[in-house]
Structures are given as C-alpha cells and as structure tokens.
Amino acid sequence: MNYDDLITLGIAFGLGMLVGLQRQRTDNKMAGVRTFTLISILGVVAGFLSRDYENPYILPVMGLALTGLLITANIIKLKKINEADIGQTTEVAALLMFAIGGYLVLGDQIIGVVVGGVMAVLLYVKEHLHDFIEKLKDKDLAAIMTFAGISLVILPILPDKTYGPLDVLNPKNIWLMVTLIVGISVIGYFIYKFVGKKVGVISNGVLGGLISSTATTVSYARKTKDAKNIGKMAAFVITAASAIALVRVLIEVGIVIPEKLPQIMLPIIVELIIMILLCVGLFYLFNNDGKDDEMPEPKNPAQFKSALIFGLLYGLILLAVAFTKEEFGNEALYVVAVISGLTDVDAITLSLSQTMKGGGLKTETGWRLILLASLSNLLFKGIMAAVLGTKELTKWISISFGISIAAGLLLMWLWPENWVL
C-alpha cells in the first residue's frame, strides 16, 4: 500500500471540505461541501490514473467532462430560477479545485496546499474585499498600479549586470531595492486605509514609521502650530515613528544579507529599546486634554517620480561608498553615512548592506555606519521639528532625540565586537 497516495487523498479531502464549507455558508445552489470534496477527490483520482497508466490525456479529459457538467447545471439553473445568479465564482473555484487535486499528484504538494488555502481565504473575505475596494480613492488605485508597474513590469526587464565606474551599478539590483522600499511604504499606507483615520496615538507613530518617519515629523510639527497643548503628544508620535524606522532598517538588512543579520541586529535592537523606553515616558507625560489623535492623511507612497529619485539616490550612494572606500579607506565612509543619512536612511542602509554582502565591508564596521546614518537622520528630523513646530515640541524632541543620539554614539564607541547573536 502506498501511504503517500493516502496522504494525498487526505489533503484533497481537507481542501475540498474547506472550500466547500465556505461556499455552502454563502447558501450557494451550485455546489457545497460535499460537491467540492468530491471534485477535489476526482482531481486526485484523475491524477492517479494519468500517472499509473502514463496517459497524459486522462486528466484533461476528465476536466473537460467536469466543465460540461458545470455548464449543464448552469443552463438548468437559468431555465428554472428567475433572476438566477450568473456569477462564475463557484464554477471557477470548482475547476480550480479539480486542478489542485490533480496537481497534488503530479506536481508540488506544498504549492497545491498553498493555492487551495489561498482560494479558501479569498472566498471567505469576499465581502471585506469588496468593501475595501469600494473605499479606494483615485490615489489609492494609483498607488496599487504604480507599485505593480515598478515590481511586475519594470523590474523583470532590467539587465542583471553591472555598469559604469567602479563596477557597482546593477540596474536590476538598484530597482529591486526601489521595489523593496516602495513595497514597505505601500504596506504601511494600506494598513492605514484598513484601520481608518482614528487609529489611536500609538498606532499613529507605528504607521508613520512604516510609511515615512520624515513625513510624519513634518505633519505633526505643523500640527503643533495649529493646536495648543499637543507638543508632548506630537513628540511621542515623532519619536515612535523614528523608532519604527529602525525596524525598517532591520527588515532591509534582513532581506539583503540575512546571513549577517545576527551580527548586525543586536546593537540596533539596543538602540531601538532605548527609543521605545523614551516613547513610553513621553506617552505617560503628554497631556490628554485637547489631544488630537487623528493621523494626517498620508500622500501616495508609490509615486513613480519618488521611486525614480530614490533609485538615483541609491545609485549615487553606491558610487560614493565604492569611491570613498577605494580612495580613502573605510574610515572615510563615516562621512558618507552622516551626509547620506540626513535625508534618507533607506538608501545608505541598502548600499552598505550590498557592500557587506560582496565582502567589501566588515560587518562590525557596517552596522556602525548604518546606525550613524540613522542618528544623522534623527538630527535632521529634530531640526525640522524645531523649525516647523512650537517651543514645547522643540523641548521634548531635543530631550528624546538627544538621548537617542547620545546612546547611539556610545553604542558605536563601546560595543564589544564579540557581542553577537
């Protein structure tokens, strides 16, 4: 007895019941839990027959027979039921269930299980998905389409080889980093769309860090000019967003050089914990009276112009890092990190990660440069908050960012090289 075939039948049975249960809960007249279970088992049996008799035509012929049955059932339904539902979701799901059954035998079972599970989830979240789509504005749709263009149209056609001076400019690699950064921002933006504007002051800081900590700093600094007694609250949100920016840094490093993340993450996590403690202190200090916890409407995070600018900036930093390292050595990279970090931490983080990946930069130097760029960015945001905000905001941001910068510099100076995860 082939126990692997029994396991395959069990998987098909479970997936068929899962999808059929959802269809029956929607009071579907075409197919329910029994029908979907039988269809998935039919797909498996058709796969067994095709495999055992080495006949590639058995599976498609049985699929065509199933299609004929579904068409006949639809014709009968249209004749007998007035204003019958002519949607094709159940029919397509039935055909896909049959195909999954066959693929469980002839293909990769893990992929079959994943596809079946995703189909069940998509069918279940239908109403929520429709509600979400109805709430989309033009700029939301533009964000989706722009990200699709960036990741699915432009990225695949770019050449995967290096060009230019110092042999470090790889168009595909550069655009992959653009896709990564835009993707993180789009995820944060649509989390905001899901939870709505009144998400609470803590969520404001988290979402602000995911979308753009710099934009959050500008928005809340300006809000302090228009509303009284929100300086501490604004300082909390700005500090929280800046802390989440460190999480973004860890995500970027983990994607580019996952094998070196254990050596890099510990000192950055310590800096993150320090900033979280500062956030906790600010949270309990700020005055609840007159608190405005509505997050400002973020701009479209997937603008093509912004993606191009980031790509150019990332390419320039790649060149600057390579040139500085070759001409002046690793010590001069600290100057590059400070200057680059003033306006954008993501680009310098990804550039340094690529350099470490290629072995051109030691890990213990790399994490210090990334942390220094983050501290430089904190200084820049602190100056913006002081220029755009009130004296109260300036005071609290000076305290929180001052402690964070001092702690980060001490970490860079005193951290033992053998302290790694």
Of 97, 132, 167, which residue sits at a domain end?
A: 132
Give me the half-sphere count of Cα atoms (radius 13 Å) on the Cβ side of residue 178: 30
Of 84, 99, 132, which residue sits at a domain end?
A: 132
196 with 293, same domain: the answer is yes
124 with 246, same domain: the answer is no
Amino acid identity of residue 289, one-letter, is D
Note whether residue 393 is domain-resident: yes
- Is there a contact between 350 and 313 (Cβ–Cβ < 8 Å)? no
145 with 37, same domain: the answer is no
107 with 165, same domain: the answer is no
141 with 85, same domain: the answer is no
200 with 245, same domain: the answer is yes
DSSP state of 285: H
For 372, counting Cβ atoms within 10 Å of its Cβ (0-12 exposed, 13-18 middle, 19+ buried), the class is buried
- Report the run of H or E that residue 291 belongs to, with start and end: none
104 with 152, same domain: the answer is no
Q: Which pTM was predicted?
A: 0.73
Residue whose structure tokens are 């389409």: 145
- Between CA 210 and CA 244 the distance in angstroms is 7
Provide the residue-wise pLDDT of the chain in tens; the chain has 421 residues. 567 888 888 899 988 888 888 777 765 556 678 888 899 999 999 999 998 888 888 898 998 998 888 888 777 777 766 655 555 777 888 889 999 999 999 988 889 898 988 888 888 877 677 777 777 777 788 888 888 899 888 999 999 888 878 788 899 999 999 898 888 888 878 777 666 555 567 777 888 888 888 888 988 888 887 776 778 888 999 999 999 999 999 999 999 999 999 989 999 999 999 999 999 998 887 755 445 455 556 666 677 888 888 889 898 998 898 888 888 888 889 999 999 998 789 999 999 999 998 888 899 999 999 999 999 999 999 999 999 988 989 999 999 999 999 999 999 999 987 787 6
267 with 375, same domain: the answer is yes
216 with 355, same domain: the answer is yes
Note whether residue 420 is domain-resident: no
